[in-house]
């Protein structure tokens, strides 16, 4: 069976206990963090070992937005400015930026990226998120988000749009507490939900641990009403994963949170910290992927393709011609 989960791990090498656990649990995919990264050779070994543990070409993702949120850093990988700063250069710059990011990821066996962030930034958006966004209105974010996603796909990397159905109005950090948004359903539909609606054909999405009080009392990740908004009003029929189930935007045990997310309609539980006892709770409570979730997973993986043949040097020159600035590790 394939567990309805994406798991992290503790270090730069897969331990025997982790290998045995992953072989038994068979999570749908894996996520990596800075603690798992040393250098390109090590990372290629690790991604290969993770896939060997489950006996298939499992998806491996990472948060490589650029700016503060990027897990692969100098001296082996490029250092990028925050997305909001770069997005002002336009859609073509974003496409080139994420083609370059995708090339670096694919070269070490990572075939997915937790980006683009389609939340709408404002002056009140919490600082943990604000400069990770792609703009301050729907008209700017949609073409930039589309370009970022297409750039990653061209590089052979699957994008994961986040945080559905919209995190930009949150003035709290969902890593620490549950943000509460009181905007009306009508207002949300015309703004926050609209960026995701315009890109609802993308293969993968991630939920937000946010309460939308005009719609439900539960955070979106654990709310059947909000998952229906994502599926029906936004029209997203791709594979839907939770944001990290360990974040304090949710309450209850890891097992309770996992069960609530699956019950609400999420396809996968994302657990990032690599703590074995918590992952065991996820396995016990998320259970096996449903038939519909498995079908959406297969559809998402069908978007994987060989990277384009453009050289990084060519793409980098085009990007810099548009005013893009990056400390490119390979230049």
Mean pLDDT of the chain: 96
Q: What is the pTM of this model?
A: 0.96
**Residues annotated as catalytic (active site), given as ranges:** 175, 243
Q: In the predicted model, what is the mean pLDDT of residues 298-317?
A: 96
Strands 59-62 and 211-212: unpaired
* Best CA proximity match to 274, nearest among 16, 26, 30: 30
Question: Would you say residue 331 has pLDDT above 60?
Answer: no
Is 231 in contact with 258 (CB distance < 8 Å)?
Answer: no
Question: Would you say residue 178 has pLDDT above 90?
Answer: no
The architecture (CATH level 2) of 3-327 comes to Alpha-Beta Barrel (3.20)
What is the 8-class DSSP label of residue 64? Answer: E
- Write out pLDDT tens, residues 207-236: 999 999 999 999 999 999 999 999 999 999
Check residue 172 and give its pLDDT. 65
Q: In the predicted model, what is the mean pLDDT of residues 172-183?
A: 81
What are the residue boundaries of the structural domains of the chain, listed by start? 3-327
The pair of three-digit structure tokens given for residue 257, joined into one six-digit string: 């949170």
Q: In the predicted model, what is the mean pLDDT of residues 165-181?
A: 83
The pair of three-digit structure tokens given for residue 227, joined into one six-digit string: 């998952």
Check residue 1 and give its pLDDT. 85
Check residue 177 and give its pLDDT. 75
Helix (H) or strand (E) holding 97: helix 91-106
Q: How far is CA 60 from the centre of its chain?
A: 11
- Write out pLDDT tens, residues 107-128: 999 999 999 999 999 998 888 8
Question: Would you say residue 205 has pLDDT above 70?
Answer: yes
Instruction: Please spell the DSSP secondary structure of 175-216, one letter per residue.
Output: TTS--EE---HHHHHHTHHHHHHHTTTSSEEEE---EETTT-
pLDDT > 70 fraction of the chain, expressed in percent and rounded: 99
The pair of three-digit structure tokens given for residue 121, joined into one six-digit string: 């930034």
What is the 8-class DSSP label of residue 117? Answer: B
């Amino acid at each position: 069976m394939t567990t309805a989960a994406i798991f992290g791990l503790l270090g730069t090498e897969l331990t025997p206990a982790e290998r045995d656990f992953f072989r038994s649990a068979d999570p749908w995919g894996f996520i990596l963090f800075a603690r798992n990264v040393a250098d390109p050779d090590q990372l290629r070994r690790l991604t290969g070992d993770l896939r060997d543990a489950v006996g298939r070409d499992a998806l491996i993702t990472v948060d490589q937005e650029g700016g503060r949120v990027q897990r692969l850093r100098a001296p082996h990988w490029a250092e990028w400015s925050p997305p909001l700063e770069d997005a002002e250069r336009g859609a073509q710059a974003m496409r080139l930026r994420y083609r370059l990011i995708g090339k670096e990821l694919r070269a070490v066996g990572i075939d997915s990226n937790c980006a683009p962030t389609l939340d709408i930034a404002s002056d009140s958006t919490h600082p943990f998120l604000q400069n990770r966004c792609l703009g301050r209105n729907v008209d700017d974010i949609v073409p930039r988000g589309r370009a970022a996603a297409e750039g990653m796909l061209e590089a052979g990397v699957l994008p994961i749009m986040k945080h559905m159905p919209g995190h930009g109005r949150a003035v709290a950090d969902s890593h620490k507490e549950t943000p509460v948004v009181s905007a009306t359903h009508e207002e949300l539909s015309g703004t926050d939900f609209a960026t995701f609606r315009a890109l609802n054909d993308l293969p993968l999405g991630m939920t937000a641990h946010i309460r939308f009080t005009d719609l439900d009392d539960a955070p979106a990740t654990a709310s059947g009403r909000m998952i229906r908004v994502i599926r029906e009003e936004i029209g997203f029929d791709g594979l839907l994963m939770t944001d990290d189930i360990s974040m304090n935007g949710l309450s209850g045990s890891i097992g309770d949170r996992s069960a609530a997310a699956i019950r609400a309609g999420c396809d996968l539980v994302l657990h990032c910290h690599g703590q074995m006892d918590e992952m065991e709770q996820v396995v016990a409570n998320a259970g096996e992927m449903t038939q519909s979730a498995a079908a959406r997973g297969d559809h998402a993986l069908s978007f994987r393709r060989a990277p384009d043949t453009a050289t990084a040097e060519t793409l980098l020159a085009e990007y810099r011609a548009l005013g893009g600035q990056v400390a490119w590790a390979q230049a």
